[in-house]
């Protein structure tokens, strides 16, 4: 049973479903945080959300605007320092899933959040690494959520900030990276998964109502569709209600206080 | 022993042109009042270190205080770009800004190394990425026991660390809680430490294991209520999200930023004066 929804809602719901109940998830801010909290509020109430600012087991009632909002600390099982979160918990191998966003992504799910154009003379200076390089290498596996466009899914990255499968095949394993790497990339058009041998991202499921040509046109490399490519199950009424309530609570909470600059 | 002083006196005495300054606070307890005072006293040629430059370094960069910045994530959290930072990197305005870019994990480890009086940090990081290609201080080391190749990066050893905390007692012992970031490590890695606090209290009444910085690792302590706004102080006030959103517009345009600087920093005498101006204007906006 489903109802009309936006492509962004379908993306968020599809991403949330990837997080299994009980998983320990290192959560990036923005779309990953929305999806991870939707999972926690629907099918995965025992998911443990870890934020790089130090909260472990955060259960925020509204989405954080920044990675270190007070409600993450107040609702967490414990709050540790930033060195500890990276040293003991991420590098220590305690994280099942890393949930990341991306400014740019290539066919092997390598991520750029650093610069567009030459590094020393950039066309666009992006925010940079944050925790992503070590999340992408040390988490047991990685989920990426990103809006689908030719500007985002590109033929070649100007800078590799966080690694996926490097040049494909066994390159990631040969480099000695511990985690499995990206297992799915969820966009507002489809779900991409790495080919088991080449590790090139392929369309594994298409969101309802999206044409194959739309995906081809919005991808910066000649995108392949897997042989068993199916359709994403549409968001349920419950998933959409929980998501919309979460976003409404968030807007109400972040929009009321504060001073103008 | 920490000396209780005004913030203006602390900056005048301990922050000098050309120094390496780390002003930490991970989204929480960002020492904005101290940043304003450094701008007001027109320090120049600073090497700034901070994991998340945030608005505090956007302001310092735009005001021309910085020659160099080491950082690991340079955005306006929840909003978008830091426009003054981008203008400096992309266009050299108001002056070129040399950058040293690291990851969060690296910088956190590098502060730990600094606090531990070690020359470098060692971590499992950067493998396969392009960081080492653009930063020759990101190198590798082979484990003498296992042969594993690990990233090695220089320790952070600032001349001055500046943080904001909730409380300090009369002797200058400092207590902070909530999201702690790398503040303790920054203070212990630095030669000199300035701490601004929400309030001066007779006793901290801190439980065992609380994050307390003893007076004797702090150089100067200054009472600056709301000194972390527009970030937040756990237990005192919330993050001023509207300021972060409004900053996107203020900072986007050089002229508008310069006008903000003139009106809110150079024309105010201290942080209390800045806050009074801000609340007066807000009251006018509400009543008009």
> pLDDT for A12-59, tens place per residue?
999 999 999 999 999 988 899 999 999 999 999 999 999 999 999 999
Domain ranges for chain A:
7-254
Please determine, looking at this structure, whether the domain spanning A7-254 carries the CATH number 3.30.230.70: no
Tokens 């952070």, located at residue: B156
User: How far is the alpha carbon of A234 from chain B, nearest alpha carbon, in Å?
Assistant: 28
User: How far is the alpha carbon of A244 from chain B, nearest alpha carbon, in Å?
Assistant: 19
Task: Give which of A30, A70, A74 to mutate to test B binding, by max B Cβ within 10 Å.
Answer: A70
Structure confidence at residue A254 (pLDDT): 79
Which of these, A34, A38, A36, A11, lies nearest to A25 by C-alpha position?
A36
In eight-state DSSP terms, residue A109 is: -
> Per-residue pLDDT for A162 more than 60?
yes
pLDDT range class, residue A257, cuts 50, 70, 90: very low
Domain assignment present for B113: no
Could B129 and A259 be called an inter-chain contact, meaning their C-beta atoms sit closer than 8 Å? no
* Residues A186-227: tens digit of each pLDDT: 999 999 999 999 999 999 999 999 999 999 999 999 999 999
State chain B's mean pLDDT as an integer.
96
Which of these, B67, B71, B32, lies nearest to B49 by C-alpha position?
B71
> Per-residue pLDDT for A258 more than 60?
no
- CA dihedral (B280, B53, A102, B134) positive or negative: positive
C-beta separation of B187 from B213 below 8 A: yes
Angle made by CA atoms B198, B201, B206, in degrees to the nearest 5: 90
Residues of chain B contacting residue A114, judged by C-beta atoms under 8 Å apart = 101, 130
Range(s) of the domain holding residue B80: 3-102+157-273
Which of these, B62, B31, B61, lies nearest to B163 by C-alpha position?
B31
pLDDT range class, residue A159, cuts 50, 70, 90: very high
In eight-state DSSP terms, residue A2 is: B
Could A65 and B244 be called an inter-chain contact, meaning their C-beta atoms sit closer than 8 Å? yes
pLDDT range class, residue A259, cuts 50, 70, 90: very low
Instruction: Give this complex's ipTM.
Output: 0.94
C-beta separation of B201 from B167 below 8 A: yes
User: How far is the alpha carbon of A7 from chain B, nearest alpha carbon, in Å?
Assistant: 21
* Whether residue A52 lies in the annotated active site: yes
Residues of chain A contacting residue B102, judged by C-beta atoms under 8 Å apart = 129
The total domain count for chain B is 1
> Per-residue pLDDT for B30 more than 90?
yes
User: How far is the alpha carbon of A104 from chain B, nearest alpha carbon, in Å?
Assistant: 14
Task: Give which of A51, A63, A177, A258 to mutate to test B binding, by max B Cβ within 10 Å.
Answer: A258
* Residues B113-146: tens digit of each pLDDT: 999 999 999 999 999 999 999 999 999 999 999 9
Could A82 and B73 be called an inter-chain contact, meaning their C-beta atoms sit closer than 8 Å? no
Whether the CB of B103 is below 8 Å from some CB of chain A: the reply is yes
Domain assignment present for B236: yes
DSSP class per residue in B90-154: HH--SS--EEEE--HHHHHHHHHHHHTT-SEEEES--TTSSHHHH-TT-EEEE-TTT--EEEEEE
Number of other CB atoms surrounding residue B64 within 10 Å:
17
Residues of chain A contacting residue B124, judged by C-beta atoms under 8 Å apart = 91, 134, 137-138, 178
C-beta separation of B268 from B277 below 8 A: yes
Residues of chain B contacting residue A87, judged by C-beta atoms under 8 Å apart = 105, 108-109, 112, 123
Domain assignment present for B76: yes
**Residue B247 and residue A91: Cα distance in Å, rounded?**
35
- The helix (H) or strand (E) run that includes residue B50 is none
Structure confidence at residue B281 (pLDDT): 82
C-beta separation of A183 from A172 below 8 A: no
Average pLDDT over residues A154-180: 96
* Residues B39-48: tens digit of each pLDDT: 999 999 999 9
Q: What is the CATH number of the domain that holds B169?
A: 3.40.1080.10
> Per-residue pLDDT for A2 more than 60?
no
> Per-residue pLDDT for A261 more than 50?
no
> Per-residue pLDDT for B178 more than 90?
yes
Catalytic entry in A8, A9, A52, A134 = A52
pLDDT greater at residue B255 or residue A69: B255
- Return the percentage of chain B with pLDDT > 70, whole number: 100
């Amino acid at each position: 049973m489903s109802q009309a929804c936006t492509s962004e809602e379908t993306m968020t719901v599809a991403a949330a479903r990837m997080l299994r109940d009980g998983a320990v998830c290192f959560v990036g801010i923005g779309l990953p945080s929305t999806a991870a909290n939707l999972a926690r509020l629907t099918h995965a109430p025992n998911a443990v959300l870890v934020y790089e600012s130090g909260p472990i087991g955060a259960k925020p009632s509204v989405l954080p605007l920044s990675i270190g909002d007070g409600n993450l600390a107040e609702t967490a099982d414990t709050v540790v320092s930033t060195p500890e979160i990276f040293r003991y918990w991420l590098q220590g191998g305690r994280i099942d899933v890393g949930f990341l966003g991306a400014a740019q992504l290539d066919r092997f799910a390598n991520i750029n959040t650093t610069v567009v154009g030459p590094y020393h003379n950039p066309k666009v200076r992006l925010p940079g690494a944050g925790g992503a390089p070590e999340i992408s290498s040390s988490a047991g596996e990685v989920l990426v959520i990103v809006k689908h466009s030719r500007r985002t899914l590109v033929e070649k990255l100007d800078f590799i900030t966080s690694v996926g499968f490097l040049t494909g095949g066994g390159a990631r394993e040969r480099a000695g990276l511990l985690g499995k790497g990206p297992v799915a990339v969820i966009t507002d058009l489809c779900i991409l998964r790495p080919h088991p041998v080449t590790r090139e991202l392929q369309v594994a499921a298409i969101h309802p109502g999206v044409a194959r040509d739309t995906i081809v046109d919005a991808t910066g490399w000649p995108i392949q569709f897997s042989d068993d490519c199916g359709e994403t199950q549409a968001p349920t009424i419950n998933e959409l209600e929980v998501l919309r309530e979460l976003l409404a609570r968030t807007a109400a909470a972040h929009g009321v206080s504060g001073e103008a600059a | 022993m920490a000396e209780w002083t005004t913030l203006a006196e602390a900056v005048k005495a301990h922050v000098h042109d050309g120094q390496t300054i780390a002003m930490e606070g991970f989204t929480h307890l960002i020492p904005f009042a101290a940043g304003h005072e450094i701008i007001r006293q027109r320090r120049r040629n600073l090497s700034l270190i901070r994991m998340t430059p945030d608005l505090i370094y956007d302001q310092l960069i735009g005001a021309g205080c910085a020659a160099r910045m080491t950082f690991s994530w340079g955005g306006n959290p929840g909003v978008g770009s830091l426009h003054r930072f981008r203008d400096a990197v992309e266009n050299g305005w108001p002056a070129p800004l040399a950058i040293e870019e690291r990851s969060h994990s690296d910088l956190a480890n590098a502060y730990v190394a600094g606090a531990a009086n070690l020359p470098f940090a060692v971590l499992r990081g950067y493998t396969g990425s392009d960081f080492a290609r653009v930063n020759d201080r990101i190198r590798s080391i082979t484990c003498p026991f296992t042969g594993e190749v690990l990233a090695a990066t220089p320790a952070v050893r600032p001349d001055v660390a500046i943080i904001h905390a909730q409380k300090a007692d009369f002797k200058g012992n400092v207590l902070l809680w909530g999201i702690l970031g790398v503040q303790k490590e920054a203070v212990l890695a630095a030669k000199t430490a300035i701490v601004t606090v929400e309030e001066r209290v007779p006793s901290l009444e801190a439980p065992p294991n609380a994050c307390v910085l003893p007076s004797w690792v702090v150089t100067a302590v200054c009472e600056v209520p709301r000194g972390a706004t527009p970030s937040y102080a756990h237990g005192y006030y919330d993050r001023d999200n509207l300021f972060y959103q409004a900053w996107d517009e203020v900072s986007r345009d050089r002229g508008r930023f310069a006008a903000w600087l003139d009106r809110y920093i150079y024309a105010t005498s201290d942080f209390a004066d800045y806050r009074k101006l801000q609340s007066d204007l807000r009251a006018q906006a509400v009543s008009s």
